[in-house]
Amino acid sequence: MKAVVAGAPVSFGVFELTPEGAETISPDAMMAALAEADYAGIDLGPLGFLGEDAVLRGRLERFGLGLAGGWVQLPFSDDDAFAAALPDLRAALRQFSAGAEAGAGPLPLPTLADDGSSLRRGAPGRGAEVDRLDTDAWGRLTDNVARAARIVRGAGFEPTFHHHAGTFVESPDEIDRFVADTDVDLTLDTGHLFIAGGDPLAAVERWGDRINHLHLKDVDLAALRRVLAAGGGMPEVWSGGSFVAFGQGDIDLAAVMTALDARGYEGWVVVEQDVLNGPDVALDAFVAARSADQVTNRDALRAWV
């Protein structure tokens, strides 16, 4: 497979929902752990975490890592909120440009995602039941995705769109509709598709020609069911141990990788194991466990990349 494996800050508990002021691994320690485990790239994580401009570029060069992409969440179905959020997209694109100058690996893919709603975030996998978009709102979503895509392409990058639990593009049916109504290709996220009742292997057959980015996760179905049965939303999914090291969950990642390989997938394979460290877990123990997981995850992919 002509693909390149990247890690992600979210696998170390660093992402947009990390509690403000929480103690986290340093960017240098994270990048050193990924480089030592033979990753070739890293996702951007929260804007500024890896540094910006020359600092970001220098870090990537120092650790020999390419920038794989990064999460850009926008309220696509609300015209006014979308317009107000466009400076965030442009700020992220400046950092993709800085990261691309480091020159390691394929170009990063700005990873567009919908903002969803509080109702949807509180009912992972059941978004269409609790908060369905009407026709007009769906039209706004696709029109604004097209606007964002033009901005991304104008900056010299190809966008990718991340279906995601808790957003307005979550279920297989919603992804089908999105693919039909836009020209933006997909990030296949095996974990979030699983939460929304989809089959990641079937997804490769269903949308394979439109998959230009991969977020690879394994999911402990029993842990996920416990969280959802207790009424948990996405924060509880992230903190409840639903995402586990490769081979410890219920997704047949080997079958997914083999199917993608057969279709000639090229590009980034971003390993994500979304976790939040609890307040009762010492940071050094948490980092050691997450670093060991990333070795397990990287080794699980060696038959393909």
- Read off the pLDDT of residues 36-73 as tens digits, 9 standing for 90 and up: 999 999 999 999 999 999 999 999 999 999 999 999 99
Give per-residue pLDDT as tens, 209-262: 999 999 999 999 999 999 999 999 988 998 889 999 999 999 999 999 999 999
- pTM score: 0.96
What tens digit of pLDDT does each residue of 180-206 get? Answer: 999 999 999 999 999 999 999 999 999
User: 199: which 2 tokens?
Assistant: 């089959």
Render the burial of 72-99: b for 16+ CB within 10 Å, e for the rest.
bbbbbbbeeebeebeeebeebbebbbbb
Q: What pLDDT score was predicted for residue 18?
A: 82
Q: What is the mean pLDDT of the chain?
A: 95
Contact between 72 and 32 under an 8 Å Cβ cutoff? The reply is no
Average pLDDT, integer, range 259-280: 91
Q: With a cut of 80, say whether residue 12 has pLDDT above it.
A: yes
> Is the separation of the CB atoms in 281 and 21 below 8 Å?
no
| Residue 266: band (very low, low, confident or very high) from pLDDT cuts 50, 70, 90 | very high
pLDDT value at position 71?
95
Distance CA 232, CA 242 (A): 12
Residue 282 has pLDDT above 80, yes or no: yes
Give residue-wise pLDDT tens across range 120-166. Answer: 999 999 999 999 999 999 999 999 999 999 999 999 999 999 999 99
pLDDT of the residue at 270: 98
Transcribe 128-169 into DSSP letters: HHH----HHHHHHHHHHHHHHHHHHHHTT---EEE--TTSSS
Residue 21: what pLDDT?
A: 74
Q: Are 76 and 145 in contact (CB under 8 A)?
A: yes
Phi first, then psi: give them for residue 17, nearest 5 degrees: -100, 5
Above 90 in pLDDT, residue 77?
A: yes
- 255-278 in b/e form (b: 16+ CB < 10 A) is ebbbbbbeeebebbbbbbbbbbbe
C-alpha R_g of the chain: 18
pLDDT at 280 exceeding the cut of 80: no
Q: What is the pLDDT of residue 20?
A: 75
CA dihedral 183, 45, 91, 133 (to 10 degrees): 40
Question: What residues pair up with 111 in beta bridges, in sequence order?
Answer: 71, 160
CA 114 to each of CA 154, 162, 195, 233, 263: distance values in angstroms, whole numbers, following the listed order: 20, 8, 17, 17, 28
pLDDT of residue 27: 97
| Residue 75 reports pLDDT greater than 80 | yes
Count of helix runs (H) and strand runs (E) in the chain: 13, 11
pLDDT at 295 (0 to 100):
98
